[in-house]
Structure 1
Amino acid sequence: MAVINLEYYSEVLAMNRNVKIIYPEASKVENFTEKEIPVLYLLHGMTGNENSWLQRSGIERLIRHTNLAIVMPSTDLGFYVNTTYGMNYFDAIALELPKVIHNFFPNLSTKREKNFIAGLSMGGYGAFRLALGTDKFSYAASLSGVLTFNGLESRFDENAAYWQGIFGSIEQFKNSDNEILALAERKTEYCPKLYAWCGKQDALFAGNEFAAAELKKLNYDLTYETSDGIHEWYYWTKKIEQVLEWLPINYVKEERKI
């Protein structure tokens, strides 16, 4: 297994960007030069970047025996959307980045059924936003994600420079493609399988409960789980392993020796 830092020029963002990639060992891949390696795009939350999962979760240890590549990009604080201030993170990550990755790593699959996406908090929002807004991902997972802004509308006024810079006004946000539930209602094909978890003591728990109920009404194939937990890495580190078990890959757990 190799952990690779790739610096590339993003035409969409007109700047150099860094992305971290975990690339599986040849011994884990049958017919390594020909086989299409499945790919998980793994998204950080607010205050994080492309290094967050590597530094905080031990993700490289979890998949060291598994044929899976992981791609970890950064959206800065841009919520993985095309912001109103002109930084088009959605286009850069959903449309441009897969082409960049495949150019450097042609063994990675471009097939929808072998491309997955997951994230935490802001990244949980991003995972659903990118999966529902494209036809590129067959599975999408959210851990403590911001899946709805119901009950959080006041944030658009309390920190207007930031939130309106990302989404515009609350009126512009409602029913736009940036509203997860509105986007989910409009999507009619290439619907991804969804997974969501949120801790019961998390400030986002009520929003996750509401979003899960609405997604089920829309007949999405959603696995929704809750347990005691707050908004922090202790829980996300545990839950990302459940996401790996949920994905259609041959996930091989590391044998724990006492």
Structure 2
Amino acid sequence: MAVINIEYYSEVLGMNRKVNVIYPESSKVEDFSNTEIPVLYLLHGMSGNENSWMIRSGIERLIRHTNLAIVMPSTDLGFYVNTTYGMNYFDAIALELPKVIHNFFPNLSTKKEKNFIAGLSMGGYGAYRLALGTDHFSYAASLSGVLTFDGMEENFKENPAYWGGIFGNWETFKGSDNEILALADRKNEERPKLYAWCGKQDFLFPGNEYAIAELKKKGFDVTYESSDGVHEWYYWTKKIESVLQWLPINYKQEERLS
């Protein structure tokens, strides 16, 4: 397994960006002559960056026996959307980054059925936003994700500079592609499979319960789990393994001492 730090110039954002990639060991790759290595894009939350999953979760240890590449980009505090202040993070990560990654690693699959996306908190929102807003990802997972802003209207009023800079005002946000449930209504074909987990003591738990129920009503294939837990890494490091088990990969858990 190799951990590779890449700095590249983003034409979309007009600046250098960084991304971390975990590339599987040659002994775990079934056939290096093809381009079928599956890829998981793993997204950070509001306080994180491209290093967060590496530092906090030990993700490289979890997948060291598995033929899976992991791509960890950064969106700063931009919620993985094209912001109103002109930073088009959605385009940069959903459209540009897969091409950049494939240029560096031509053995990674470009097929939808072998491209997955997951994230926590803001990254959980981002995973659903990118999966529902493109045809690039077949599976999308959210851990403690911001799956709905209903009931959070005061955020837009209390900090209009930030939230307005990201999404615009509440009226322009509602019904737009940046609202997960509104975007889901427009995703009629080739829908991704969805996974979500949220802790019952998490402040986002009511929103997850509501959003998942609505997605199921809309006919999405959703695997939803909840358990005791709050909004912190202790739980996300546990549940990312559930995500790996859920994905259509030959996930091989590392051997543990009894």
What's the secondary structure of 2:103's corresponding residue? helix
Partner of 1:252: 252
Q: Superposed, which structure 2 residues align to 1:113-152 within 5 Å?
A: 113-152=113-152
TM, length-normalised to structure 2: 0.99
CA distance, structure 1, for counterparts of residue 31 and residue 19 of structure 2: 26
Instruction: Supply the RMSD in Å over aligned alpha carbons.
Output: 0.6
CA distance, structure 1, for counterparts of residue 36 and residue 133 of structure 2: 24
Partner of 1:100: 100
Question: Displaced runs of 4+ in structure 1, greater than 2 A?
Answer: none
Letter in 2 for 1:88: N
CA distance, structure 1, for counterparts of residue 43 and residue 5 of structure 2: 15
Instruction: Return 242-251 or 185-194, whichever deviates more.
Output: 185-194
The count of aligned residue pairs is: 258
What displacement does 1:52 show? 0.1
What's the secondary structure of 1:20's corresponding residue? strand
Q: Could you give the per-residue CA deviations for residues 32-77 of structure 1, whole angstroms, max 9, x where no partner exists?
A: 2324100000000001000000000000000000000000000000
Partner of 2:17: 17
**Ranges in structure 2 where 5+ consecutive residues have no aligned partner:** none
Q: Superposed, which structure 2 residues align to 1:4-153 within 5 Å?
A: 4-153=4-153
Q: Could you give the per-residue CA deviations for residues 136-174 of structure 1, whole angstroms, max 9, x where no partner exists?
A: 000000000000001111000101100000000000000
Letter in 1 for 2:46: M
Letter in 1 for 2:33: T
Letter in 1 for 2:30: E
Partner of 2:180: 180
Partner of 1:3: 3
Letter in 1 for 2:210: F
CA distance, structure 1, for counterparts of residue 46 and residue 139 of structure 2: 22
Contact 1:38 1:69 (C-alpha < 8 Å) held by counterparts: yes
Letter in 2 for 1:38: P
Partner of 2:155: 155
Contact 1:29 1:35 (C-alpha < 8 Å) held by counterparts: no
CA distance, structure 2, for counterparts of residue 70 and residue 256 of structure 1: 23
Contact 2:115 2:138 (C-alpha < 8 Å) held by counterparts: yes
CA distance, structure 1, for counterparts of residue 60 and residue 200 of structure 2: 28
Q: Could you give the per-residue CA deviations for residues 107-145 of structure 1, whole angstroms, max 9, x where no partner exists?
A: 000000000000000000000000000000000000000
TM, length-normalised to structure 1: 0.99
CA distance, structure 1, for counterparts of residue 189 and residue 138 of structure 2: 11
Contact 2:113 2:137 (C-alpha < 8 Å) held by counterparts: yes
Contact 2:35 2:106 (C-alpha < 8 Å) held by counterparts: no
Letter in 1 for 2:12: V
Contact 2:84 2:164 (C-alpha < 8 Å) held by counterparts: yes
CA distance, structure 2, for counterparts of residue 189 and residue 35 of structure 1: 25
Instruction: Return 31-40 or 47-56, whichever deviates more.
Output: 31-40
**Ranges in structure 1 where 5+ consecutive residues have no aligned partner:** none
CA distance, structure 1, for counterparts of residue 30 and residue 142 of structure 2: 30
Q: Could you give the per-residue CA deviations for residues 186-242 of structure 1, whole angstroms, max 9, x where no partner exists?
A: 111121000000000000000000001000000100001100000000000000000
Partner of 2:200: 200
